Amino acid sequence: MRLTSLTVAAGLALASASFAETVAPGDVVFDEYGAVEASLTGVAGDPANGRSVIVSKKRGNCIACHSAEAWADELFHGEVGPTLDGVGGYRSAAELRGILVNSKKTFEGTVMPAYYKVDGFNRPGDAYTGKAAKELSPLLTAQEIEDVVAFLASLQD
């Protein structure tokens, strides 16, 4: 009896330890310019995965609006947003993170979607079904955001 409840307690403690670092979408802290200083996960970003998030239609689909030399080998680049060549040279990781979490805090009224936000939308849908959403997940996970930040930070002129 005591042993079981101890194990359960230990298990809980472990679980909360490993998730303690993941900041929920509603808890992200922005500075006055829209930058986010703290990592969302505490785990270093994986730039290779970040690149694949950027070019994947099913994940970030950043390529729909942005071009860059770093993914020039992919088909079809959008022109709605600026090219991201060298963006790691003039934007800090905190700025990049802030732009990804909620770009409107950096660029008022921008058409760029917020990738780590789950409330405040008008008629949110269940992905691309056209039906009402039951529960919204952010467009990217916390770790995917960190991975994209790591990749963008590596884009230097």
Partner 1 sequence: MKIKAVTAIAAVLLSTSVFADEDAELVVNGEIEMVTKTAAPAHLSDALDEVLSGWRFRSDETQLMQMDDFDNPGMVAVDAAAEAWDAVEGSEGKSCASCHGDVADSMVGVRAVYPKWNDAAEEVRTLAMQINDCRENKMGAEKYGYTSGDMAAMEALISVQSRGMPVNVAIDGPVQATWEAGKDLYYTRTGQLDLSCASCHEQNYGNMIRADHLSQGQINGFPVYRLKNAKLNTAHARFKGCVRDTRAETFKPGSAEFIALELYVASRGNGLSVEAPSVRN
**Site residues (CB under 8 A) for partner 1?**
57, 61, 63-65, 75-80, 111, 113-114, 121-133, 136, 139
Q: Is residue 66 a contact residue for ligand HEC (CB under 6 A)?
A: yes
Distance of CA 35 to the CA centre of its chain: 13
Q: How far is the CB of 119 from ligand HEC (least distance, A)?
A: 19
Q: Give the Cα separation of 28 and 77 in Å (integer).
A: 30
Q: Is residue 91 a contact residue for ligand HEC (CB under 6 A)?
A: yes
Q: How far is the CB of 107 from partner 1 (least distance, A)?
A: 13
The one-letter amino acid at 36: V
Smaller CB separation from partner 1, 90 or 128: 128
Q: Give the Cα separation of 40 and 22 in Å (integer).
A: 5
Tracing tokens 């670092």 back to the chain, one arrives at: 21
Smaller CB separation from ligand HEC, 47 or 113: 113
- Spatial contact of 116 and 25, defined as CB atoms under 8 Å apart: yes
Smaller CB separation from ligand HEC, 23 or 62: 62
Q: Is residue 116 a contact residue for ligand HEC (CB under 6 A)?
A: no
91 binding partner (options partner 1, ligand HEC, none; Cβ < 5 to 8 Å by kind): ligand HEC
Tracing tokens 């959008």 back to the chain, one arrives at: 78
Encoding tokens for residue 105? 């805090």
For the chain, the first-to-last Cα distance in angstroms comes to 63
